[in-house]
């Protein structure tokens, strides 16, 4: 199954995103300048787990929310890459996600993810498909606390989301004026304190997404962006093992349509293991709250990430 839907509208949105995400051209180098270092595959300069894992939207971070870190272990003048697959299962629903991400120069991250949400409990035989193309800029600071700066690593990002809901769910979304595509904007700050082995991340997201976009974007009752906070904390038990928790606040733009459409905040607790820089495994317990009339949706989450 391709990552991008084949519709002209999807290709148009993807092209706009690609143009928006293109980094500015570097200024021409004078003859007096030192020659630029060649681009190389990253992996030697960063500590284990300082590239984060893959979030459900494809960006580097935790499972539910992006962090200020860039994907992989690419340092200056290096290129990093990751690929991942994850599955989450609650009492009534299942979500499969797979994707890839590139990190360049510890500055720019590009990601692509595909979500497949089994909604058969609501509409038999229905699977919702959400494609997410993302970009993240590391604009200031350093995630690892050292003698040079206390400033956290600050990043700005966006996620272009395209939903294929199928005919049955699409009709429901049309009835509440929820769109099939949207863009999330976010800013985050991440700091790793080496002495206590603690990582803290704070993210602020501007979004119109209903259930992260799986139920469209906005509604007849709420067409504007909502500003939502997201928080992650992690504790390094040893250099290759971390535990932590995440909280992601959610807008509630479909609540006017009745209790079944009420949206709750998401939470998880997780353990991440990275035996080396080429593979990591994340296990989590997630609490998604109410999802389309089914309350207390809790269950397990597993994600495998690989890198060259």
Query: 154: closest CA among 45, 76, 69?
Result: 69
Residues 6+ away with beta carbon under 8 Å from 223: 177, 208
Question: What mean pLDDT do residues 134-153 have?
Answer: 83
Please give the mean pLDDT across all residues of the chain: 86
- Cβ atoms < 10 Å from Cβ of 110: 21
Question: What mean pLDDT do residues 118-147 have?
Answer: 89
Alpha carbon distance 80, 249 (integer Å):
30
Q: Is the pLDDT of residue 191 over 80?
A: yes
Q: What does the CA dihedral 211, 306, 238, 198 come to, rounded to 10 degrees?
A: -40
Q: What does the CA dihedral 62, 116, 209, 268 come to, rounded to 10 degrees?
A: -30
By DSSP bridging, strand 40-41 and strand 78-90 are: parallel
Residue 19 has a pLDDT of: 41
- For the chain, the structural domain boundaries read 41-306
Alpha carbon distance 125, 166 (integer Å):
10
Residue 52 has a pLDDT of: 86
Question: What mean pLDDT do residues 237-265 have?
Answer: 90
Cβ atoms of 76 and 105 within 8 Å: the answer is yes
Cβ atoms of 82 and 100 within 8 Å: the answer is yes
Q: What percentage of the chain has pLDDT greater than the value 70? A: 83
Any idea which fold 41-306 has?
Porin (2.40.160)
- State which of 32-46, 70-84, 128-142, 251-265 shows the largest mean pLDDT: 128-142
- What is this structure's pTM? 0.85
Alpha carbon distance 29, 271 (integer Å):
46
Alpha carbon distance 136, 155 (integer Å):
6
Q: Is the pLDDT of residue 44 over 60?
A: no
Q: Is the pLDDT of residue 32 over 60?
A: no
Number of H helices, E strands in the chain: 2, 15
Question: What mean pLDDT do residues 287-298 have?
Answer: 92
Alpha carbon distance 236, 48 (integer Å):
10
Question: What mean pLDDT do residues 95-106 have?
Answer: 95
Q: Reduce the DSSP state of residue 212 to 3 states and report it.
A: helix
Residue 143 has a pLDDT of: 86
Query: 125: closest CA among 88, 166, 90, 92?
Result: 166
């Amino acid at each position: 199954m391709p990552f991008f839907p084949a519709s002209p509208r999807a290709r148009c949105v993807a092209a706009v995103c690609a143009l928006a995400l293109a980094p500015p051209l570097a200024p021409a180098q004078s003859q007096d300048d030192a020659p630029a270092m060649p681009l190389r595959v990253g992996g030697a300069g960063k500590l284990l787990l300082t590239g984060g894992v893959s979030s459900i939207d494809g960006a580097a971070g935790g499972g539910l929310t992006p962090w200020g870190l860039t994907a992989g272990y690419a340092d200056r003048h290096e290129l990093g890459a990751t690929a991942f697959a994850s599955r989450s299962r609650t009492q009534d629903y299942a979500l499969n996600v797979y994707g890839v991400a590139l990190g360049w120069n510890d500055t720019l991250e590009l990601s692509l993810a595909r979500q497949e949400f089994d909604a058969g409990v609501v509409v038999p035989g229905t699977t919702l498909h959400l494609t997410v193309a993302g970009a993240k800029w590391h604009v200031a600071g350093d995630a690892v606390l050292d003698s040079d700066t206390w400033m956290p690593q600050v990043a700005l990002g966006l996620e272009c989301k395209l939903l294929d809901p199928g005919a049955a769910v699409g009709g429901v979304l049309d009835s509440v004026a929820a769109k099939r595509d949207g863009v999330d904007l976010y800013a985050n700050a991440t700091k790793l304190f080496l002495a206590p082995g603690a990582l803290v991340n704070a993210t602020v997201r501007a979004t119109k997404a209903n259930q992260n976009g799986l139920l469209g974007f906005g509604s007849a009752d709420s067409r504007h962006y909502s500003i939502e906070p997201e928080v992650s904390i992690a504790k390094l038990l040893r250099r290759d093992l971390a535990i932590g928790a995440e909280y992601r606040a959610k807008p509630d733009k479909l609540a006017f349509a009745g209790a079944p459409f009420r949206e709750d905040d998401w939470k998880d607790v997780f353990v991440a293991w990275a035996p080396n820089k080429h593979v990591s495994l994340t296990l989590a317990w997630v609490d998604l709250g109410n999802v389309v009339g089914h309350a207390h949706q809790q269950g397990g989450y597993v994600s495998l990430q690989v890198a060259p």
